Each structure stands twice: as C-alpha cells, then as structure tokens.
Chain A
C-alpha cells in the first residue's frame, strides 16, 4: 500500500475484527407451530399453503393443502374451521379467513382440473376401507399415495357418507362433492357400493385385505321418549336428512319443530324451511351461548327465518300441539324447570339429539367397543392388529374435518403396520404464541378496503348462494396471515442488524446468522414479526 501510513486505510478492513467474540447470547432461527396448524383436525399445514397463496401461486398452495386433505373444496364449505378460532390475528383485528381461502383453492383446482398426485408405487398390499365418508375417503387417498391397493365398501348407494346424507346440499353442492370424490377414485380404487359389511373378519378375508379401516360413521339418530299422541309425527334428524338427500323427503307439514341444539338441528330446521315449512322452530333446553351448534350456522338459520326457543324442553307432543316447559338457569348455570308451560303449533317433531354408531359388524370380533365407540391407539389401530377405526366410530369430535384427519392418520398407521414399522407421529414444534409476535410490522387493512373485506368475510362463511372469494379477495385474505412462528422472509433481521451479521440466502432459503460478527444484541429477535428467531445462551 502506497497510501499514507495509518492516516488512510483500505475499505472494509474491519472484517478482520471478529466481533462475534463479544456475544453472550446468540440468536437462532426456529420454526414454531402456528396455532392454525395446531388446531386443524385434518393436520393441514395451513400457514404453508397460505404462504404460496399469498404470492398468487394457487396451484402450489393447493398441492400443499392436498398433501394432508384431498377434499379442500368440501372442507372449505363444511369445516367449522377451528383454525380461525385459534388464529393469532384475532388479537390484532380479526382472524384470517382461512376457510374461505381453502374453498377458493379447492374450487380453483376443480375449475382448472388439477389432479391429485399419482399413487405411490404398488406395495402389493391391500386395505379394506369400510365406509366412504370423509374418514374413509381420506384414508383411501393416503393409502393410495402410499402405494397400497384399496377396496372401498359403502353400504349406501353413493359415496360420501354424512357429507352426502347428513349435510344439506345448500351447504355442500353435490357437484362439488362428486368432483372431489371422483378425483380420489381416479387414483385407482376398487369400489363396492350398496354393500353393508356385517362381519368384519369375514369381509377382511373376502377381500383378501391385509388391513381394515373401519369408518362407518354414526348413522343412528338418538331417540328420547317424549309423551306423544298417536297422531304425533316424529322423525329423527339423521333419517330426515338422509331421505332428503335421497330425494325422498318426508311430509312434515307447515309447522315443524326441531328438538336439539347442535348443527344437525339447524340443518334439519333450515332444510324443513326449504321444504316448505312456514315455520321451523328449534327447541333447546339451554341458552344461546351454550348451544353446541356453530355460531355462524345459528346466525344463518336465524337469517333464513328459523326461530329458536331457548331454555325450553318438550313436555308433551300431541298431534298439532307441542307443550314446552320454560327453563331457567340456576346459580351454576344449569337449566332448571320452572313449571311454566307453553304451547306450540307442530305438525311434526324432528329429533336432533345426537347420533349413535351402528357397530353390529363388530359383533363376534375381538374388536373392543366401549360406550358405543371403538377405542383406538394413536395409529388409529384397534385392539385387533390390522383393524383400524376412525371418524365417528372413534372417540372424538364428530366433524368431517376430524374424520379427514382420522383417515390420514389411519392410513399412516396402516402403512406402518404393513411395513412392520412402529407408528410415530411427527414431533410437534412448540406453539407459536401470540406473545412471540411483533405485530407492529403487519399492515393494517387499508381503510378503503375494510368494508369490502368485511363483506367478503361475511360471504365466505355464508351459504353457497353467496359464492366464494374472487381471486383478489382470496389473495388479500391470504396475505393477512401473520406466518406465526415461521420465517416468511420479510428481511427484517437482515435489515435491522447493526453489525451486518445476518446473511440473506434468498430464494426461499431464508437467512443465516454470521456468528463471526453477531454481537448478540437481540434486535433481530425483537423485530422479527413472526417470532422465528430466539436468543439462546452462548455455549461456553
């Protein structure tokens, strides 16, 4: 160097000074489990598919979605989205409309004819799936992906189970159901319709199945004894909806009363309205807050003219007249009879008091049944090796989404069983708690957009006639995702480091800390919007 000694220095020479030695704590990148993923009964990687949807790559998003769930257009309509209840954004403004985006992706896939992934290489093993509801279909899909042959046996005339016979068409258009079911069948499935399996062991032998997945659902409407006159027309909701689904609706008359407080009660009441009932009244013994039905469903039902008599029980049903007793909440919040009676006009009473499973096919088998359901291990296997059970027959919440999740887990359990491997659920990351987020960085929805957004969100959770999201709105909604717990490459850490000690790898490869220079100040951690960096004590 011919420049003046010490007065003039060549640029960037300080890189020789490794200030990383100052550090007592080091930042490390982590991946935490987003609450939406955590809450999803189907085990969807919601945040990941939203990530792709955010950039408008809907096919990539859909492909990640169907890694877990082959029925997004259906779930985008019927799922009660616990993901949204868990969403951290609730504490910023409102939850991300995950369900609506899922539906958008599902519909887009159907419209563009995207196909599910090809089946895996033939394993030479066969699995008997009993019941073609969401659990059975989900299991079928995942088993095919693993390369196992599937024989799908369904007692009804058509596939879909409760999705077809329990959920009214205004919530789930049959064209959507058919299309998503058909797409699974395209993977190559042996289907046997109209065949009720009576003996599980015999059927296993008959179909030369190496394993069985039992997913017959809960098809029996629960009855209670209500003093009633001979002329009183009573029907359980499951039967009622099933008949409607088969285009053979019973004649209920103009005044229909539905007894119960679950979603099925609402479906029954709303269906009755559509069938011409001038009034459909739900009688429920507790108050609105205690109603097990989902709030949106209640809202929609009320909007359609369904009336609800909360805090009421049915005392007696004599043809055309129903006597109900008013209840009052006691100090503990439980309803107690008041003795106050009231009459209602009623041509028919629909009982929506819950469903039971028909497990007669297990009689004589060694499969253990307890409290009307089949206890299963984590792999969804019953006491009997090779026999798995899921959906409504397994102890769990009885929703289509849970069933889809069961189907997936059972398929993995079966795959492990067939491969003589032990089943292990993948390790779950710690939960990405709201407290880890720096929500400052998330954009507020622009003011001009908010009324529109609210309208859209209203639509998304409404019934079919309202329609799905436009692409722009789906994109907008996807972009509301906070990416809790997982780096989404916002460059904050790269930018806010006073020591240039964050290396940007780019192109989806995120970042690395340059520990040669990182002094451990922790700004990157503090300013990471999604909590994907944490400080750990320096190893000494």
Chain B
C-alpha cells in the first residue's frame, strides 16, 4: 500500500515484515527513528517473536547480532557514522564468521570535526569488511532493499549493509509502497543457517586460523562476494516480478544510451543528478547517469559494460580517501572499459553540504568545456582554505583549524 511516510518509518515497517528475531538498538542520528519504530512494534506485540535489546553501545549491537545470528536467529540492527566505526571490529567479525546479519547504515560523516550530516565516509570505511553494501536511491528502494538484503544474506551466509543517506532519506517524508507481509513471506523463507549453535549438534564456531588456512578462508569469502554478483540481479528480478518495482540490482543506468558523458554516483543524490541530466539532455547534450546500487561486491564487469560508450566519466561521490582521492572513483577506474574514458572525480556533499541540480549542471558544463580537473571538490570555499593556510604559516600555535574556519565564516571572512 502506497503511503506518505518518513523513510525511517518505511524501513522499520519493512524490516518488521522480514520477521527479525533479534533487533539491537543503540541511538545515533540519523538512524535512530528506525530502531525506535521497531522497538515500539516489538513492545506492543506487532512484531513477535522478537527480542528487542537496548544495548550499551554499537559495539554491543553488532556483537549481540553476531551471537543471535550464530544461534540461528534472524538478526537486525541499524547504525551510522561513529557508531559504525565503534563497532567496526565486530563488523569484520560478523563477515568473517559468515553470519547473515542485516544492518541499515544511515550514512553520515565521520568526525572530527563532529558532524551529524550526510556523506558516505562511514560506508567507505568498512568497504573491505566483507559485507555486501547496497545503496538506496529513494526511500522506496531503501525499504525494498531490506527484504532483498535478508534474502541475500541468508542465501550466501554473508552480512548485508543497506546504506541510505542520513536525514536526506531517513528523515524525508515521501510516498512509499510498503510491501505486503504475504509477499515478504513468499520471498523470504525462514532462516536456515549453515552453521548454528545447537546443543544437540555442537560445533565450535570462530576457531583460530593460522597461516596454513587463513588465505583460503579469505579467498572463500571473496568467492562468496563474487557469487553475490550473480545472485543480486536475480534476486532483484524476482523481487520486481512480485512487486513491479525495479529496486536493487547491481546498477541503475539512466539515459546511458548514446551518452558521451556519464556521471557515476550512489544514493539519494542520483535524483538530483537525473534532474540535471534531463535538463542538459533538453539542450541536446548527450549525458547520462550510472547509479551504483551494489558497491560491495563491486560489479566490475557490469560497470565496464555500462560505461563502454562513454567518453567522459564523472564520479560524483560523498567521500574520499584523504591523500588520494575518490574511493568509488578508484573502483570505477579499475572497472573502466578499454576505450579509456576520461575520468574525473568530484567530491561533493561532505558533511551534509547540499548538492543542487545547478551544481551538477555546472559540473557537466565544466566537463564539456574540458575545465573539470581530475579531482575537484564541489563548492569548495577556496578563500577560507587559503586564509587558514596563511594562519598556519604565520603562527605555530594557529589553533584548531575547524574552529578557526567557523570563526572565520562567522566574521564574514573579515578575520584575516
């Protein structure tokens, strides 16, 4: 049923229909509304049987999920930003143990400086953890991806992270068609674990593995990721057949046919970019968009295929690797077809800075003019940067630079 509701609510309702048996809650913006809503559903009996556990940290949230999953329960939790980093040891561990935990990541920047707003730094920090990472473009897709996530996780014995932009999606109220319980039940069979803590058939899970087998274990986990590249599209197709919605899959191409310039991006910014592309198309520019839905495993072949006709590829991404550049861009470069399109990275939207249609059109314009550098930062206030650099050069004790920048801005740039 189509409803106008908050993204977090849509996700909570959908997760509940996936019948999780253990849900851990630890508050951190902007995911908190999700677990609040699930908690209420457990408390009033709508979601049963389910253990809702108010843990003392994200580290515990993932750890409880690990225990629950190893004991054969369908386990879910949600986090963001610092929370993800606080649990990162357990995040790796869940994947290493092959436990199909599903987690929502309400993407948020990572401090310091502390910042609660959206970017993708948190998801990028765990890209090598062994989780499947799916990025939602809309709240509809965010909700739908959770159903697929449980199916993928449990089929492959690999944990799945559904990434949705913090605030931009989690707090946005828009129309979402909530999936029927019956559809979920037909799509998502009860969890049948590959390994389980069962007193009747005891096993040891989590052995110490030395040099003699560690590489094989890691490689097997890699193969499961490659298996996921096969499974993700078929699960998305099956889902589409049941719901009529094209949620999930590896990639979301938009107007790529004959496109000479392709913007590659992930998450909610794709909507804004599509508006910009439509606007440019209206002026006759051959531009298109490639949305990356599945970031891990990275669909190298599919990306290469999608970019086969492009002459210029612009990766717009909400994170970057300090001292290097784009993270998604690096993967895209690896996947770039032999035709060798010109590749540019635009780091944008850090810490919640808005990315507007006008911004995107500007990028396309600069690209068309050949003035878009290989790596650029959207709407970077060069003056602020220059002034802080100058302060640092002038004085050893120039002070904390985040605070300096804020003071500088508050003074209207007069603080030179």
Contacts and interface: CB of A to CB of B under 8 A. Distances in A.
Nearest to B209: A6
Interface of A: 2-11
A75 B250 CA distance: 98
A4 B98 contact: yes
A3 B194 contact: yes
Interface string B281-310: 000000000000000000000000000000
B380 interface: no
A69 B195 CA distance: 68
B204 interface: yes
Interface in B96-145: 96-98
B202 A7 contact: no
B220 interface: yes
A4 B195 contact: yes
B194 A9 contact: no
A8 B217 contact: no
Given A6-B209, A6-B213, A11 B204 contact: yes
Given A3-B194, A3-B195, A9 B98 contact: no
B393 interface: no
B207 interface: yes
Given A3-B195, A5-B217, A6-B216, A11 B203 contact: yes
Interface string B79-98: 00000000000000000111
Contacts of B157: 4
Nearest to B213: A6
A8 B216 contact: no
Contacts of A6: 207, 209, 213-214, 216-217
Contacts of B207: 6-9
In the A-B complex, the 3 residue pairs with the closest CB atoms: A8-B195, A9-B204, A6-B217
A10 B213 CA distance: 16
Nearest to A9: B204
Contacts of A9: 203-204, 207
A2 B201 CA distance: 14
A6 B218 CA distance: 10
Contact of B220 (A2, A3, A5): A5
B224 to A, nearest CB: 10
Contacts, number: 41
Interface of B: 96-98, 157, 194-195, 202-207, 209, 213-214, 216-217, 220
A5 B217 CA distance: 7
Contact of B97 (A2, A7, A10): A7
Contacts of A4: 98, 157, 194-195, 220
A7 B96 CA distance: 8
B194 to A, nearest CB: 6
Contacts of A8: 195, 203-205, 207
12 contacts: A3-B194, A4-B194, A4-B220, A5-B220, A6-B207, A6-B213, A7-B96, A7-B195, A7-B205, A7-B209, A8-B195, A11-B204
A3 B157 CA distance: 11
B203 A5 contact: no
A41 to B, nearest CB: 60
A1 to B, nearest CB: 10
Nearest to A8: B195
Contacts of B202: 11
A392 B250 CA distance: 109
Contacts of B204: 8-11
A5 B216 contact: yes
A11 B213 CA distance: 19
B23 to A, nearest CB: 25
A7 B99 CA distance: 11
B296 to A, nearest CB: 20
B314 to A, nearest CB: 41
A257 B345 CA distance: 127
B159 to A, nearest CB: 14
A11 B96 CA distance: 20
A474 B240 CA distance: 88
Contacts of B98: 4, 7
B416 to A, nearest CB: 59
A2 B97 CA distance: 15
A10 B207 CA distance: 11
A348 to B, nearest CB: 88
Nearest to B214: A6
A7 B209 CA distance: 8
A8 B96 CA distance: 11
Given A3-B195, A3-B203, A9-B207, 19 more contacts: A2-B194, A4-B194, A4-B195, A4-B220, A6-B207, A6-B214, A6-B217, A7-B98, A7-B195, A7-B206, A7-B207, A7-B209, A8-B203, A8-B204, A9-B203, A10-B203, A10-B204, A11-B202, A11-B204
